[in-house]
Structure 1
Amino acid sequence: MAALSGKLTRKLVENLGPGRHGDGNGLYLVVDPSGARRWIVRVVVKGQKNKKGAPLRTDFGLGGADIVTLHQARDRALEYRRMAKQGLNPRFNARQDIPTLEEVAQQVHIDRMPTWKNAKHGQQWINTLRDYAFPKIGRMPVDSVGQPEVLMCLSPIWTDKHETAKRLAQRIKTVLDVARSKGLRSGENPVTAIKEARALPVVKAKPKHHGAMRWQDVPVLYADLATRKAMAAKALMFTCLTGSRTGEVLGMRWSEVDIDSLLWTCPAERMKMGEDHRIPLTDAMLAIIEPLRELQSEYVFEGQKRHKPLSNMSMLMLLRRMEVEGVTVHGFRSTFRDWASEQANVPREVAELSLANKVGSNVERAYARSDLLEKRRSLMERWSRFIAGSDGIVVRLHQVGDPQ
């Protein structure tokens, strides 16, 4: 047991700064400037000489300190020294104890949880690996994964599910890059090598456009929706008027609505760009949501369950029941954008900011302090009058709670 003691402690391993820190008996903790921590052991192989004729002194990686504990590192270092004293080169004779690809991937997923935009995104990251990589190469030691193994995962879906395959390739690359930084593998990343060798065929992705209605046809649809009593109809009317995304509307809470300022502020966590977005409220929008206060729900557009929002498929299914074909809910954003360009003739930045889209380069956005709220308010009022009539309301909305 004396051989398994040394100068370092668990606390020191976790807190020492950049550099090489000796534990004794040839074992070192190496802390990179990035903060990555890994173990190495220096041994002299008995009877073996280097090119200059001196005793063969070699450093061997024992793995990252976040995976290999201090006790395990001392145990492995002792094993390497014993082999070296017997004249055996540990590079060819050491017992390998390398984590699997799945183990490293799960750890990467955990480590990056605070950086995910939301929990759903983080879950999608690991689910892609779970579905397409783990069944084939998940149990392989991470240092054994090469180009053939990566191709085994990518090739079956490269053409039919190209976007998924590209995400899978990027996520495998990330896992292998992390493994290399922890001293668990060496050499070029096989994902990079496959890309550079053009080992997979070029796939020309067909752009997918959300089906959009002609802006000239929206007033007729809106008038039809206004005769319907379902909550999905009210949500779809509001979506058409605001040009907002489905998740933004269905997740709308009363706490986000400021009637005095005629504003709805959608919080950053529900916005694609990750920033709060202010939407000016028009008379037509208020005519939809004000009667819904009687429900006294947390959500403006409450679903079948109390204090729960409508299903994200509710508006699309309503369109299908209305036999409105070739049109998606998201497509109404394109409809609004077309109207803004062809009919309203507003500056591009006003139309794009109304849809909460990025405008200009990063530098331009850094200097653009205003969200052009009042200009957007004027535009949305014009859009509401076009859709719902000159006074903003074409028909009386049905009382809340009536059956569909």
Structure 2
Amino acid sequence: MSHLTGKLTKKLVENLGVGRHGDGGGLYLVVKPSGSRSWVVRVVVQGQKNRKGAPLRTDFGLGGADIVTLNQARTKALEYRRMAKQGLSPRFNAKQEIPTFEEIARQVHIDRMPTWKNAKHGQQWINTLRDYAFPKIGRMPVDAIGQPEALMCLSPIWTEKHETAKRLAQRIKTVLDVAKSKGFRTGENPITEIKDAKVLPKVTKKPKHHAAMKWQDVPAFFADLCTRETMAARALMFTCLTGSRTGEVLGMRWDEVDLEARLWTVPAERMKTATDHRVPLTCEMLAIIEPLQAMASAYVFEGQKRHKPLSDMAMLMLLRRMKVEDVTVHGIRSTFRDWASEVANAPREVAEMSLSHKVGSAVEQAYARSDLLERRRALMERWSQFVTGNTGKIVRIG
């Protein structure tokens, strides 16, 4: 009598190396060099012969081991063997259990957790599908999703929330691609078909600029900040002087700072460009952060909770309390860029690198070994003097 036990265990399924590993009864776990794990059952259909007249052995895929458990694979393999014994080909007679779109999506989310830039990005990935796809197609078998179903998710937000819709389309495409790779779908991806056929209308988006302060107003603004004793004020002063992004400043840790070398190195995982970025520290910048060492916190700008950074909204709320209504924190980067061009006459590559922007084509970037640190230091020292009111004579930074 057939039974549902074999040589493999759950632990072996998770840890066996590359190869074809038998469980018994024609069931195999196939582990590929890429690390993917899938189930295959080999059966001999009663009455079928190969070209030489011998019994015809045929392999059938049962799905990925991350979706189909060992017991499920054994049950399915037993079903296939019974059909084969009766002379029925599983290819035409088996009822395959197809997972739902949501089941595949959540598994993809789990599998890719180590690859997210940070936990927040990973959560945003699944939240987009949760909000706009799961309510409409989440419970559908993943092989039943075509263009009409994809359009049900995309059309309602395509023009109103275009950026969200584009991200949603990419994430639906990823889920369906993974489903196909696991044998749960066939044919073209409907997202690709929709794009190629230009089914959805073209949306022309006007570039959105962060509201920026005039560079002429910065010294007075900075002087006002200097009268405030809050941590948010210190962080905003430092942001003004460095031209850094809000997240980079708020996440700044003491182990990133070399006071002797007057250097702050932001690690790649915290940078939008995904590369380390060195920020030269001027005397004015050091005057802001050095007194904060006494707090003995992991973070330079500690928030209300011990060893936790300031809130993302802290600096913006400070701007509002200062009645600076038409300026964003990020807009201060544009202010610096205007000043660097109009006043300091800084070369474009020096100004852009100061803002951690990538300069030039991919080829040019590959050959640009230097981050122009010392030239950027000279520019930032001149900016610090201007912002704090010690302007001196403006000279060309080159």
TM > 0.5 between the two? yes
Paired AA for residue 220 in structure 1: A
- Name the SS of the counterpart of 1:344 in structure 2: coil
- Name the SS of the counterpart of 2:62 in structure 1: strand
Q: Could you tell me which residue of structure 1 aligns to residue 61 of structure 2?
A: 61
Q: Whose relative contact order is higher, 1 or 2, with alpha carbons under 8 Å and at least 6 apart?
A: 1
CA distance in 2, matches of 1:149, 1:107: 21
1:98-109 to 2 correspondences below 5 Å: 98-109=98-109
CA distance in 1, matches of 2:170, 2:14: 31
Q: Could you tell me which residue of structure 2 aligns to residue 77 of structure 1?
A: 77
CA distance in 2, matches of 1:229, 1:21: 67
- Name the SS of the counterpart of 1:140 in structure 2: coil
CA distance in 2, matches of 1:132, 1:215: 42
Cα distance, 1:195–1:390 mapped onto 2, change above 3 Å: same
Q: Could you tell me which residue of structure 2 aligns to residue 336 of structure 1?
A: 336
2:303 corresponds to 1:309: no
Cα deviation, 1:275-330, whole Å, max 9, x if unaligned, reads: 33221121221222233334443332232333332221111111112222221100
Paired AA for residue 308 in structure 2: K
- Name the SS of the counterpart of 1:126 in structure 2: helix
2:290 corresponds to 1:290: yes
CA distance in 2, matches of 1:30, 1:226: 65
Which of 332-341 and 141-150 deviates more?
141-150
Q: Could you tell me which residue of structure 2 aligns to residue 147 of structure 1?
A: 147
Cα distance, 1:97–1:254 mapped onto 2, change above 3 Å: same
Paired AA for residue 383 in structure 1: W
Which of 362-371 and 166-175 deviates more?
362-371
- Name the SS of the counterpart of 1:381 in structure 2: helix
**1:371 positional shift:** 1.8
Which of 293-302 and 184-193 deviates more?
293-302
TM-score if structure 1 supplies the norm length? Answer: 0.85
CA distance in 2, matches of 1:295, 1:71: 56
CA distance in 1, matches of 2:256, 2:57: 67
1:88-237 to 2 correspondences below 5 Å: 88=88, 90-91=90-91, 93-237=93-237
Cα deviation, 1:322-376, whole Å, max 9, x if unaligned, reads: 2222211001111111111222122222111111121223333333222211111
Paired AA for residue 300 in structure 2: V
Paired AA for residue 357 in structure 1: H
CA distance in 2, matches of 1:325, 1:229: 21
Q: Could you tell me which residue of structure 1 aligns to residue 396 of structure 2?
A: none
Q: Could you tell me which residue of structure 2 aligns to residue 351 of structure 1?
A: 351
**1:73 positional shift:** 2.7
Paired AA for residue 79 in structure 2: E
CA distance in 2, matches of 1:231, 1:328: 18
CA distance in 2, matches of 1:244, 1:217: 19
- Contact 1:38–1:183 at 8 Å: present in 2 too? no
- Contact 2:235–2:249 at 8 Å: present in 1 too? yes
Q: Could you tell me which residue of structure 2 aligns to residue 395 of structure 1?
A: none
- Contact 1:37–1:66 at 8 Å: present in 2 too? yes
The RMSD of aligned alpha carbons is 3.0
Which of 58-67 and 281-290 deviates more?
58-67
Cα distance, 1:316–1:5 mapped onto 2, change above 3 Å: closer
1:316-327 to 2 correspondences below 5 Å: 316-327=316-327
In the alignment, structure 1 segments of 5+ residues that lack a partner are 393-404
Paired AA for residue 285 in structure 1: M
Cα deviation, 1:127-152, whole Å, max 9, x if unaligned, reads: 11111112222122222222222111
CA distance in 2, matches of 1:45, 1:307: 66
- Name the SS of the counterpart of 1:269 in structure 2: helix
Paired AA for residue 315 in structure 2: M
Paired AA for residue 237 in structure 2: M
Paired AA for residue 102 in structure 2: E
**1:3 positional shift:** 6.2
Cα distance, 1:267–1:8 mapped onto 2, change above 3 Å: closer
CA distance in 2, matches of 1:375, 1:109: 43
Paired AA for residue 94 in structure 2: A
- Count of residue correspondences: 389
Cα deviation, 1:208-260, whole Å, max 9, x if unaligned, reads: 11111121221121122222233222221111110011111122233333222
CA distance in 1, matches of 2:55, 2:195: 42
In the alignment, structure 2 segments of 5+ residues that lack a partner are 393-398
Cα distance, 1:161–1:79 mapped onto 2, change above 3 Å: same
Paired AA for residue 137 in structure 2: I
1:379-390 to 2 correspondences below 5 Å: 379-390=379-390
Q: Could you tell me which residue of structure 1 aligns to residue 395 of structure 2?
A: none
CA distance in 2, matches of 1:71, 1:287: 65
- Contact 1:246–1:330 at 8 Å: present in 2 too? yes
CA distance in 2, matches of 1:296, 1:33: 47
CA distance in 2, matches of 1:387, 1:329: 15
TM-score if structure 2 supplies the norm length? Answer: 0.86
CA distance in 1, matches of 2:256, 2:88: 70
